[in-house]
A and B are shown apart, each in its own frame.
Chain A
Amino acid sequence: MPGGGVDPLRLTAREAKRMLVEGEVSAAELMKVYLDQIERVEDKVKAFILVTADNAARYATEIDREAGASRGALAGMPTAIKDNMVTEGVVTTCASKILADYQPVYTATAVRKLWGDHVVTLGKTNLDEFAMGSSTENSGFFTTHNPWDLATVPGGSSGGSAAAVAAGEALWGVGSDTGGSIRQPASLCGIVGMKPTYGAVSRYGLVAFASSLDQIGPLTRSVYDCALLLSRIVGRDPHDSTSVRLPTEIELPKATTLDGLRFGVPREYLATGVQPGVRERFDETLMLIERLGGAVEEMSLPHTEYALPAYYIIAPAEASANLARFDGVRYGYRSAHADDLIEMYERTRGEGFGPEVKRRIMIGTYALSSGYYEAYYGQAQKVRTLVRRDFAEAFSTYDLIVSPTSPTVAFRIGERAADPLSMYMSDICTIPVNLAGLPAVSIPCGLADGLPVGFQLIGPAFSENRVLNAAHALEQAIGFTALPTFKDTTGKGEEA
């Protein structure tokens, strides 16, 4: 059997790397495992906007010819890339009609680093258009399905990368997280997802949604893999003024206990809307923390209730400017039905953007407009400062803050599509972290109603190693081994 009996639903990057290095499997064989899996399940999952199968197979064969030192650190590792990172010569769409045929002329720094390590790109994964959403239902092309139940969403906006990894269509993937867009889909798909400290990974080549919040990060099957991938993409980039050199290098985690660590549980994160099943898994995980030697204490992040409204001012405000460049003048979609410049702008953008993108551009434009700026944007920035201060104070007492990643398990496709506010609530536990620029990881901590539940660990800025080590110890203790079944409950109604 090609791939030596490799099961793509279980294989970790750590194991794949060992097998490749020790010659148990060739890059070409490994690639075939994933391309076969894509062949088998992609019709159901729809994780990819573009699968570059031929290129991937060819490149894997080339890697097999490379030997020794010339082989990159991640040579032959099949990787999924969210389609909002530009890749030279490979169409990058942001799941938007306005960029449906856009051929980038350069490659995002994070992707360039991975390519420098000789990972093999399987393709570009689906997302909510311009990363605006929590379900991939806002994709301008199609919705991705959660491999745990095809009738449910994979979360978003990095739902394509998360579903691809969960479905064994990729060994691992990269996504971007503006308000939870890595952690929430990781949670809903039963995998590990991390948003690093703001500035840890270069944003150069990440198509901007909200510049002061966006971060690229890993979606993987284990915490170890998460650290491995992160360690290869972090670093100061001269092309990104907001990027920084980490004070300490990313270590591969090996902690087995949580001795001496103090964990804070913000009561505001559990106040409303947490599903009972999610709450149960969360409470069990807290008990595991104590069993591993950690101390758990309920505490307060008092400005939490203002974080969501502040986010929904700041992110759309920045987006309204970031997306203004899509004007039909230089690249991308241009309406064919315009007689003058203004009409060309209006029609191009009217036809090219989907409803959620338009909604946020309008909110953002309004929030920045003369006479409203102070009341909205100015006020939201003050809230952001308070949210940041909440965390800073909390971290003088606690080493880590923990919460459910999402208040619910995967919801059904269409269930929240008509109600943007209920969709926005998906990110209630993740958004404050982006406002404060902190590192946070989501790991699976069990199932509720047969669907994965995510557990979030948040650390102070640049405490990636602390976060990853604790997550690793906890992951070993949790021993989450359940696998997605690709069942489809469409038409069967929601199970109780």
Chain B
Amino acid sequence: MTAGRDDKRADWEPVIGLEVHVELNTQTKMFCGCAVSFGDPPNTHTCPVCLAHPGALPVVNERAVEYATRIALALGCRMAPVSIFHRKNYFYPDLPKAYQISQYDEPLAVDGRFEYWVGDDKLSCRINRVHMEEDAAKLIHAGGETGRIAGSDHSMVDFNRGGTPLIEIVTEPDIPSSEAAREFLNQLRGMVQELGVSDVNMEEGQIRWDANISVRRVGSGELGTRTELKNMNSFRFLQQALEAEIPRQIAVLEAGGRIDQETLHFDPDTGATTPLRSKEEAHDYRYFPEPDLVPLVMDEAFVERVRASLPELPEARVERFMAAYGLPRYDAGVLGSSGPLARFFEQAARSGVDAKLLANWTMGEYLAHVNAAGIEPGKGHVTAERLARLVKLVETGTVSSSGAKDVFQLMIDERGEPEQIVEKHGLAQVSDAGELAAVVAKVVAEHPAQVEQYRAGKQQVAGFFVGRVMQATQGRANPKLVNELVRKALAG
């Protein structure tokens, strides 16, 4: 069934907003000199400041401000001339001061926009704000089955992560579907990676988000009551959760019910969303300006310096790839979204080989190779220049497409040059009409029955002969030439 009128969902549209947290990869923490680290022994990167010992004071990490500014500018935000830090108060063992230093009503930057692709559609999402804060420590709940606090018999705190610089990006509710939410995050992640300000490792929680969801009648300008899915770091679970939550809300509203504004937990095992206990929700954070820090004044020269240092961002690059190389939107998206792969492609393209052919090779054999080998594009033996030379051999007909695949594998196995491998393994395409004509004649002579079929009008039998000729030449024959010769021989 198509999205027909009897599908009630068609009358409704979801409205999704995201709050995305990104841990910055600065050398030191947000407010002290401890190293930002991952995977080190617990509580080895701590000091009086990040353990909240009496009398310790925070000092803003300037590099973190620079990194946050990079993100804000890349999102087209307006930098606040003056922003201030607030204290967000609540008790929890992962928050040693019992307040998080964050930004509240005077954030670092406001009013941005992020453009992203969903299939062939380019969507635009308004960015409400970008602000800076510090991460909490890591809690490990032990002695239970789930790793959650309920049911555990003791908990441990690792303060290594406590105080890591964190950026929060808050969108407007502009995201129209679960797929769009996923693409937004994926492409935002690519952008942040390109900026070099975070490792954005999802498993480490270096990028994680809260999603706000409501639904409304198509065409309605109003926003419905929203629910919130907190602290997610998996695209798959996000999509699953949204795909559970959206129909749930629609069903409630269709039945004349009311959506409660609440925080939900998504259980990947049941695939359902359930409300968190309201006690965990009843927070009054009692925000007030952090008196230990002076207002953050944005120097215009600093902003301009950061702006000038921004790299080309994926979204712009994809457009450029389409225009400059004549690539389809899909190819440009694959090649242009990730910095290392884009740089690899462009370097190879400088050789002047056919861009579409190069794109096919880069997205096909090459990407499969780096993914399998677990290396970053550009690293390893198959340099951009070597791949370009291989593609050139295909373009000039020196090797066939299938032969080139063998050459590619041998380049990796033998760490060789494409031309030498072609020579050494005799993989050059045979384009000598005389040589091939002899093979064709032999094959035709061996299969009189098929010749009869062809001559009786069964044209497709030609393919059989071409196949046999290719087989006989171990795939090295120029297929176009073989085709011609076969038809000529059969006709004769």
Chain A residues in contact with chain B, CB under 8 A?
85-86, 92, 94, 99, 102, 104-106, 108, 203-208, 210-212, 238-242, 317-318, 320-321, 324-327, 329-331, 341, 345, 365, 368-370, 373, 377
Contact = CB atoms under 8 A, between A and B. Distances in A.
Given A321-B99, A324-B98, A324-B99, A204 B291 contact: no
Interface string B91-104: 10100111100000
Given A330-B96, A369-B284, A204 B91 contact: no
Interface in B45-92: 48, 51-60, 87, 89, 91
9 contacts: A99-B54, A108-B55, A207-B55, A240-B292, A242-B292, A320-B89, A321-B97, A325-B96, A377-B288
Contacts of A210: 291
Main secondary structure of the interface of A (DSSP, over half): loop
A92 B89 contact: no
Given A86-B54, A106-B48, A327-B98, A238 B59 contact: yes
B252 interface: no
Contact of B54 (A207, A239, A241, A370): A207
Given A211-B292, A241-B293, A370 B284 contact: yes
B288 A373 contact: yes
Chain B contact patch, size range: 20 to 34
B286 interface: yes
A214 B481 CA distance: 90
Contact of B288 (A207, A238, A239, A368): A368
Given A241-B293, A330-B51, A377-B288, A203 B57 contact: yes
Given A212-B291, A238-B59, A368-B286, 20 more contacts: A86-B53, A203-B57, A204-B56, A205-B55, A205-B56, A208-B292, A240-B59, A241-B292, A241-B294, A317-B288, A320-B89, A320-B286, A321-B286, A324-B97, A327-B98, A330-B52, A345-B91, A369-B284, A370-B284, A370-B286
B28 to A, nearest CB: 13
Contacts of B97: 321, 324-325
A431 B48 CA distance: 30
A15 B160 CA distance: 51
A204 B157 contact: no
Contacts of A211: 291-292
Nearest to A244: B294
Nearest to A345: B91
B55 A204 contact: yes
B54 A94 contact: yes
Give the interface centre of A104, A207, A325, A330 by most chain B CB atoms within 10 Å.
Answer: A325
Interface in B287-329: 287-288, 291-294
B291 A318 contact: yes
Leading 4 A-B pairs by shortest Cβ distance: A324-B98, A212-B291, A211-B291, A368-B286
B84 to A, nearest CB: 12
B163 to A, nearest CB: 14
A241 B55 contact: no
Interface string B162-177: 0000000000000000
A329 B59 contact: no
A204 B54 CA distance: 9
B294 A321 contact: no
Given A242-B292, A324-B89, A324-B97, A92 B54 contact: yes
Given A317-B288, A327-B98, A369-B284, A241 B52 contact: no
Contacts, number: 99
Contacts of A320: 89, 286
Interface string B31-56: 00000000000000000100111111
Contacts of B58: 241
A240 B57 contact: yes
A369 B287 CA distance: 8
A76 B173 CA distance: 67
A373 B89 CA distance: 14
A242 B96 CA distance: 22
A206 B59 contact: no
B49 to A, nearest CB: 8
Contacts of A241: 57-60, 292-294
Contact of A329 (B53, B56, B87, B96): B96
Contacts of A102: 54
Nearest to A371: B284
A160 B406 CA distance: 87
B55 A325 contact: no
A85 B98 contact: no
Given A241-B294, A242-B294, A327 B91 contact: yes
Contacts of B288: 317-318, 321, 368, 373, 377
A203 B56 CA distance: 9
Contacts of B89: 320-321, 324, 368
Nearest to A98: B54
A49 B232 CA distance: 50
Contacts of A207: 54-55
Contacts of A341: 93
Contacts of A85: 55
Give the interface centre of B54, B56, B93, B294 by most chain A CB atoms within 10 Å.
Answer: B54
A382 to B, nearest CB: 13
Nearest to B85: A241
Contacts of B53: 86, 104-106, 331
A204 B98 contact: no
Contact of B57 (A204, A326, A370): A204
Given A325-B97, A329-B157, A239 B57 contact: yes
Contacts of B96: 325, 329-330
A241 B48 CA distance: 16
A324 B55 contact: no
A324 B292 contact: no
Contacts of A242: 291-294
A330 B89 CA distance: 18
Contacts of A238: 59
A437 to B, nearest CB: 12
A332 to B, nearest CB: 8
B48 A365 contact: no
A206 B55 contact: yes
Nearest to B59: A241
Contacts of B54: 86, 92, 94, 99, 102, 104, 207-208, 325-326
A325 B98 contact: yes
Give the interface centre of B89, B97, B286 by most chain A CB atoms within 10 Å.
Answer: B286
Contact of B91 (A324, A370, A373): A324
A36 B293 CA distance: 44
A185 to B, nearest CB: 21
Contact of A239 (B59, B157, B284, B293): B59
Contacts of A92: 54
B286 A365 contact: yes
Contacts of A370: 284, 286
Contact of B55 (A86, A317, A326, A369): A86
Contacts of B284: 369-370
A321 B87 contact: yes
B433 to A, nearest CB: 81
A241 B59 CA distance: 6
B264 to A, nearest CB: 23
A20 B209 CA distance: 65
Contacts of A324: 89, 91, 97-99
A241 B62 CA distance: 12
A271 B311 CA distance: 66
Nearest to A85: B55
A321 B289 CA distance: 11
A317 B89 CA distance: 11
A372 to B, nearest CB: 10
Contacts of B56: 106, 204-205
Nearest to B88: A321
B52 A325 contact: yes
A210 B288 CA distance: 13
B60 A321 contact: no
A317 B284 CA distance: 14
Contacts of A205: 55-56
